[in-house]
Structures are given as structure tokens and as C-alpha cells.
Chains A and B, each alone.
Chain A
Amino acid sequence: MASVTDLRRFPGFLAITLTCLVVLYAPLIVVAVYSFNASTSITNWGGFSLTWYVDVFTGPDAPKFQRAAINSLIIAVCAAVAATSIATAAAVAMTRAGRFKGKTLSFALINLPLMVPEVVTAVASLVFFSAIGFTTGLLTILVAHIVFCIPFAYLPISARMQSIPDTYEQAAMDLYATPRQAFTMVLLPLMTPGILSGFLLAFIISLDDFLITNFVKGAGVETLPTAIFGSVKQGIKPNIMAISTLMLGVSIVFVSLSWLIGRTGQNKK
């Protein structure tokens, strides 16, 4: 008689999963370790040191990367705020406004940025901005980022909203709340975890983008990924590894935050 646990087990699946994790983590760990290498040769280990982290902040390339990092942050924050607001409004319409004309089309439209290949979006944006005479620069990057961040912000928000029964708002309205009050005082607090994870997702996606940014950025405007790409084209220098490790840390902090927020949201339910 086979028990259920036996039926769930296939030989080798654990090994494959572990191999998978090794492949996923090995490059990141190796780079993180080598970023603390004292040696100028980037492959030989010369002892632990923070030289390259000092170099990132004070070295000859420091101003360039600092400028790029500030650009990246400004764009990511603005794009995430804008995309989250737009996505929240859309999620309310999709889950709380019943049937309306063009609902299916609206759903397709929100997900359109996910369906169009990134390189096509990049080309289309560049062509469009040049056709309407929009000067490329920070603003073009921001606009492009808002567009492709919308579906990423939308997904967790609408998922969250679907799990909130609208009886709460009905109750509020029975107690003479206006729709606006029902929204700001009842629904909004309930959907906050969804909005927060949507915001974090959009933030990371914006920070992550290279291809579209590279197309629509004007001459001389760099974000962190485009600056790193330009530098890597001339060979992987140790300071790149230090920057990579710093960004790795930032990503992990953000994902963990988003994960924890998601969990508290579930626990409350």
C-alpha cells in the first residue's frame, strides 16, 4: 500500500532542485565574494579588503556612478509612484465597478506592456519620441518606465482586491458613508498591503530595466544599469563587482520587504 507521501516523491527531483539553486546563486555569491578581493587582478584572491567599495564612492569613476545612481533612484521612485496610482485606479475599476463597456479591452491594455517584447517597446518608444520631437532625457526614460511598470503594480493590487469582499464597503455605505469615504476609510486601508507590494515590484522593475532605458535615454544621461553596461563593455573591473554587490543587497532587502508585507497581509485575513 503506497502512502500519499510516496506518490509525491520522484527520485532525483531534490537533486535537480538543489542543482537549480546552485546555478542560480553561484554567480551572485562568487561576485559578492570577489568584490572584497584586495588584489587588483580580479581573479586571484589577494585577501579581504574594502578597497573597491572605497573606490566606488571616492574613485575616479565615482561621480559618474553616483550621478547614474541618483538618476536611477529618481526615476524608480517617480515611476513606481505614478504606476502604482494608475494601477490602483484601474484595479478599483476592474474589481468594483461591475461590468462596463470595454472592460475586456481594458484588461488587455493593462497587460499589453507584458506581451510586447521588451526590445520592441524600446524601438517603438525611441521612434515615437523622435517622431513627436520629444527631447530624449530623464523625462523620456520616466514616461517609458511608468508604462511598463503599470502591469507589475496592477497584479498584486488586483489580486489583493479580489480577496476583499465588498461587504465591508457595503456596510460602510449602509452607515451613510459616501462612496469616497467608503473608499478612503474602508477599502484603501484594506488594500494597503497589495498597494505596497505593487509599489515595491514597480520600483524594482524600474531599477532593473536596461534595454528600454538604453534606447530612450538621451546622450550623456545614464542610469545605473546603462552606466554599468558601458563600463562592462570594456571589461569587468573590480569596482563593478562592488557596485553589483551593493545592488544585490538592495534588491534582496526590497524583495524580503515585499515578501514580509505579503505574509502579514495573508495572516490578517
Chain B
Amino acid sequence: MAAGAPMGAGTSSHIYEGNAPRLMAPSWIFIGFFLLAPVIMMAVYSFLTKEFRGGVIWEFSLAAYDQFFFDRGLFGDEPPSIEWTYIGIFWRSIWQAGLATFVCLLIGFPTAWFIATRDPQSRSIWLFLVTIPYWVNLLIRTVSMKFLIRDTGPLNEFLLQVGVIGEPLGLINTNFAVQLGLFYSYLPFMVLPIYAAVERYDFALSEAAADLYSGAWTTLRLIILPVVKPGIIAGCILVFVPSLGAFLAPDLLGGAKTFMIGSLIEEQFKGNAGNWPFGAAASMILLTIVLCILLVYARNQNKTEIR
């Protein structure tokens, strides 16, 4: 995101000085009116009363948040105890997204490193190869993955015929399948920032380390990783945040046991649940988590910049 950051160009006269409000107005109007206002409206909806089969009644109510956090029994007359269903779904989503981020890092770092250390000519070709799948429709990628790994799909058929396995692997509708889907969806987000960081890495540092008898892996751990850390952190955030609210991968590749936040929210609006205030409340909680992560990131970034 730093690519478009305001830069203090050293020029004294700015050609379009004074035109800024006019030039910025369309962005403000569009994003302000069709994103900022909707998010505020969603916050309001989360405090309203639900109407059956979608929609709301304009009456203040904390029912949505109450339903999220507390269990009051079937008829709502028992003393409240903590409701674990939704907290559990959020926890599982955080766990899934965290694991997906870790896997992307484990695979993405060596990939980014490998690409960044090629000669400039082949570098852009490798980079291009890694990013092409990202531009293919996400739905189509996810459906393709489902087709490939399902029990009667080509992967299992092939392994059965070769005789490596006796029965289908049963990959579909598991956590593993969701992980694979998330990895597939967001890997380039990990590779690109790390690539950018490695590209700027000064190999004189590695030479100095080697001169002081540091082995390759020690250099990686003590020198390289700390230096490219900003790229790694940026990559982790770019993978974690969309994974957390992902809908397609868990919905198409996972089953009932891998239900994630995205599906929970979708069900309130498009599915059978039809509880708009509850969906709005769940979205608010998700948004809060994400904004907190981004805020912490932005603060740390400012700190390192000042230093």
C-alpha cells in the first residue's frame, strides 16, 4: 500500500495546487456514500430488532449481540451463560486463517526468495507465473480445486489406478481442503511483499556473515529474516485478513465441520437463518477484529519509519 503513499516531492510549485478538492471529490462521494455510509448503516442495523425472513424492525435492541455472546436457554428465560457456538466459529476461523497464513509463509518465503535471486530477466517471468493464477476468477479456481481433489476426481482416480492408495483419500470437506483452498486463493499476497523486500536486501550483509563463519541457515535466521521482516509481516496481514472472512473456499471445499465466519454471515442474509441484525452484528465483530489488526500494524510501521 505504500506504493501510493503521499510523497513529499521536493518541488516547490505544484501544478494542480488548489484543484485537490475538485479532483478528490468523486472518490470521497463514491467511497463515502457507498462504503462508509453503508458500514455505519450496518452498525445501526446490528442494534435493531429482527424481522422474520430478512429485514429489520426499527426498534432498538441488543438481541443480536446477546445472541452472539450469551445463551439464555431455549425460551430465553434461563440465567445467561456464555454461548460458545459463535465464539467457536470465530475462534475456528481465526485458527484456520492463522494456519493458512503460516503455510503460505512456509511456502511463500522460499518461493519469493528463489524468484528474487534470479537474474532480472527471468525474475519477471517467474513472478508472472506465480501471479497468473491470482487473476483467474477466484470462484473458478476454487471449483477447479474441488473438481481435482474430490473423491471421484482425477487426483483420486489417478492414485487408485497407479495403486498408491486402495481407496479415495477423502480430502474434500475437510480442514485440509479448506487450507488448500485458502493457500490457493491468497498465496501471491504472501509472495509479492516478501519478494519486494528480498529484492532490496543487500547481499553484502550475507557476505559479512559468511566471513564471520556463519552458516547459510544461521545467516537466514539471524540476518536475512530480521531484515526482510517488514515484507513478511505485510504478507502475513495480506493473507490473514482475507482468509478470516473467506467465503468460497470454506463453502465449496469444506463441510459442516469447517463452517467459518463468512458462511455464518452469508447464512443470515442469503441462507435460511434470515436474521439481519445478527448478521450485521457478526460483521461488526469481524470488522472490529480486522481494523484492530490493521491499526496495530500501522502503528508499528510508523514506529519503524521514524527510527
Contact = CB atoms under 8 A, between A and B. Distances in A.
B is bound to A: yes
Contact of A214 (B13, B141, B242, B270): B270
B11 A166 contact: yes
Interface in A182-233: 182-183, 204, 207-208, 210-211, 214-215, 225, 228-229, 232
Given A90-B27, A109-B27, A120-B39, A25 B133 contact: yes
Given A123-B280, A159-B4, A106 B28 contact: yes
Nearest to A19: B107
A57 interface: no
A20 B35 contact: no
Contacts of B115: 17
Contacts of A170: 11, 13, 15
A246 B270 CA distance: 29
Interface stretch (B62-70, B84-92, B145-153): B145-153
Interface in B243-283: 244-245, 247-248, 252, 261-262, 265-266, 269-270, 276, 279-280, 283
Given A115-B291, A116-B35, A127 B42 contact: yes
A130 interface: yes
Contact of A259 (B15, B128, B139, B154): B128
Contact of B130 (A24, A98, A123, A158): A24
Given A28-B141, A90-B26, A127-B276, A109 B283 contact: no
A119 B261 contact: yes
A110 interface: yes
Nearest to B245: A117
Given A106-B28, A119-B245, A120-B287, A169 B15 contact: yes
Given A150-B27, A179-B16, A124 B35 contact: yes
A96 interface: yes
A8 B187 CA distance: 22
A54 interface: no
B216 interface: yes
Contacts of B276: 127
Contacts, number: 302
A200 to B, nearest CB: 10
Contact of B3 (A103, A106, A147, A155): A155
Contacts of A155: 3-4
Contact of A20 (B5, B111, B136, B216): B111
Given A95-B7, A162-B7, A210-B138, A109 B32 contact: yes
- Give the secondary structure class of A's interface: helix
Contacts of B126: 17
A236 B147 contact: yes
Given A17-B110, A117-B286, A259-B128, A90 B145 contact: no
B153 to A, nearest CB: 6
A25 to B, nearest CB: 7
A100 B14 CA distance: 11
Interface residues of A, number: 107
B143 interface: yes
B245 A118 contact: yes
Nearest to B41: A128
B114 interface: yes
B148 A124 contact: no
Contact of B30 (A4, A27, A150): A150
Contacts of A86: 26-27, 30
Given A13-B114, A17-B110, A107-B6, 11 more contacts: A7-B203, A20-B107, A86-B30, A89-B24, A116-B290, A120-B286, A121-B35, A123-B279, A125-B38, A183-B16, A228-B143
Interface of A: 2, 4, 7-10, 12-14, 16-17, 19-21, 23-28, 30-31, 34, 42-43, 85-87, 89-100, 102-104, 106-107, 109-121, 123-128, 130-131, 143-144, 146-148, 150, 154-155, 158-159, 162, 166, 169-170, 173, 179, 182-183, 204, 207-208, 210-211, 214-215, 225, 228-229, 232, 236, 240-241, 244, 247-248, 251-252, 254-255, 259, 263
Interface of B: 1, 3-7, 9, 11, 13-21, 23-24, 26-28, 30-32, 34-39, 41-42, 45, 55, 107-108, 110-111, 113-115, 117, 124, 126, 128-133, 135-141, 143-148, 152-154, 157, 180, 183-184, 187, 203, 206-207, 210, 216-217, 219-220, 241-242, 244-245, 247-248, 252, 261-262, 265-266, 269-270, 276, 279-280, 283, 286-287, 290-291, 294
Q: 3 smallest A-B Cβ distances: which pairs? A: A98-B14, A128-B38, A117-B245
14 contacts: A8-B206, A17-B126, A25-B133, A31-B143, A93-B23, A109-B31, A126-B269, A128-B37, A131-B41, A166-B14, A183-B16, A215-B270, A232-B143, A255-B132
